[in-house]
Amino acid sequence: MLASTWALRRLWTVSVSIWLATVIAALAATMTLLVLSDEGLEDAVASGLAAHVGAQVTLVTHSLQEQPLEVLGRLQGEESRMVLEDLLRELAGAAEAHDLALFRPDGRLLASVEGWVAGAAEHDLVAAAAAGHRQTGVLYEANDERLYQTAYAPVPDHPGWVVGIEASANLTAIEELERTQTIAAVVVVFVAGALGFGLAMLVSRPLRRLELELRHLKPGDGIERVSLGGPREARAVGAAVRMLLQAIRERDTDVRAAHQNEVDQLVRLSAEVAHEIRNPLHTLTLSVGRLVTVEDQERRRRIASRVHNQLGQLEVIVQRLLDLTRPLTPERSDIDLVDTVVSVLGETTLQLQWNGPEHLGIRTDPTMLTEVLRNLALNAEQAGATQISIQSVRCDEGVSLRFEDNGSGIPRGEVDLLFKWFHTTRAQGSGLGLPTSRRLATALGGRLACIHATPATFLLELPSFEDP
């Protein structure tokens, strides 16, 4: 079953579909015309024969109207019968009838041209004609391949006397026409099949050419390798393929650029990490070397204190680097944003100026938010600020906090570098605070940006979350 289905799918192509559709349509149309033509011809022949029989039987009855039928019916002998048969034969020839018969008022056959036999089978029609009503018999086809029709009519002025007529039509012409139509139908189907095959090739050839071009297409080849020939639909497919190839090329270019950018960032990050660690290590190496040569206990204590500070700086840098690698998954809870801000700013020497409501409920991760606030406060302290102003605005999207300090501000040209990893303008800075804060703000669903250099102004946006 699977093998036959697979073979059918291989054979079922656009060419085969178009060719089969054309042949089937031609066959259906030809068969319909043949059937309708045959039925129409037979109906026409039958209708014409019936009209001919009816007209001729009326003419015969009028011809017999002047004959002494009652006298002839009483005569006996071969001579009287031959007279009647000669008369009927002459009338049958004039009426182009196959047979002609004369019936007595009692329904018996008096005479006929060819030995009438239909009257026995159609006795009821003879009786109805004797009553004064013309009757048409059954239409039938005989063994001689002719179509026969009978009719009965009363003889005027001779009550009860009935004339029967049998006429025929040759079906040979119809059969010849049927054979001619059959031959014509075969020719039509053959021509339709040839035209369908040509049409199928016309449609499928551009598609096959497109298939071969795509099979032989190599990375780096231009989209011009895909041709745009053939019918409109084939050209549309070729144009769509060109657009797809162009999109793939642009995507590959973007991917390569993004990969190169990541490599460049990794190289810069490695250099900056090495630089940040090398300075404390160099100072640490010098301090340890002095410990070996210095005998004064006070100086040894100061050197040991510097060693401890340098180790602390290294620990901070390592911890920040570890924080960069761990995923950030906020654990949100309902907090009062005002209390959190006051608590964090209370750890510093900054004077807080709060411009907002006394209480501001929000659902967020308190640990991440606290670290963001602490980094912003530490950044302001290191810039020499003694006061920080925070303005809060609640909106449909959440809460917006605007931080502005009275420090020295941000040097010209440094705003775009604030959130770059390890970038710092201070001797004691690590260059990780602000980039980490932006990363935490993004993890919370918000954003952190510097909107003004002097005075230094930062904007922290936090989204609102419904209770689960």
Check: CB of residue 287 under 8 Å from CB of residue 303.
yes
Which whole-number Å values give the CA distances from 34 to 134, 174, 183, in the listed order? 36, 12, 11
CA 174 to chain CA mean position, Å: 52
Q: Distance (Å, rounded) from C-alpha 306 to C-alpha 289? A: 13
Q: β-strand 140-141 against 146-154: which pairing, if any?
A: antiparallel
Check: CB of residue 178 under 8 Å from CB of residue 38.
yes
For the chain, the residue count is 468
Give SS3 for 222: coil
Q: Which residue ranges make up each domain of the chain?
A: 13-176, 281-325, 333-463
Handedness of CA 228, 231, 236, 237 (dihedral sign): negative
- Rounded to 5 degrees, φ, ψ at 116 are -55, 130
pLDDT at 206: 73
Q: What's 333-463's CATH class? A: alpha beta
Which residues touch 367 (CB under 8 Å, ≥6 apart)? 331
Check: CB of residue 200 under 8 Å from CB of residue 16.
yes
Q: Distance (Å, rounded) from C-alpha 164 to C-alpha 109? A: 10
Check: CB of residue 105 under 8 Å from CB of residue 160.
yes
Q: Identify the CATH number of the domain defined by range 13-176.
A: 3.30.450.20
Q: Distance (Å, rounded) from C-alpha 464 to C-alpha 399? A: 7
pLDDT at 279: 62
Check: CB of residue 14 under 8 Å from CB of residue 200.
yes
| Burial class of residue 161 in the structure, from the number of CB atoms within 10 Å of its CB (0-12 exposed, 13-18 middle, 19+ buried) | buried
Check: CB of residue 139 under 8 Å from CB of residue 83.
no
The two three-digit tokens of residue 12, written as one number: 């079922």
Tens digit of pLDDT at every position of the chain (468 positions): 445 554 444 445 656 666 677 777 777 777 776 666 666 666 666 777 777 787 888 888 888 888 887 777 777 666 667 777 788 888 878 777 888 888 888 888 888 888 777 777 788 888 888 888 888 887 777 776 677 878 888 988 888 888 888 887 765 656 666 677 777 777 777 777 777 777 767 667 777 777 777 777 777 677 666 777 766 767 777 778 778 877 888 888 888 888 887 676 666 666 666 666 666 676 677 777 766 677 777 777 777 777 777 777 677 666 666 666 667 778 888 888 889 888 888 888 888 888 888 888 888 888 888 888 888 888 888 888 888 898 888 877 788 889 988 888 777 766 666 667 665 655 454 566 778 888 888 888 888 888 888 888 888 898 876 543
Check: CB of residue 119 under 8 Å from CB of residue 109.
yes
The two three-digit tokens of residue 195, written as one number: 């035209």
pLDDT at 467: 43
Q: Which pTM was predicted?
A: 0.39
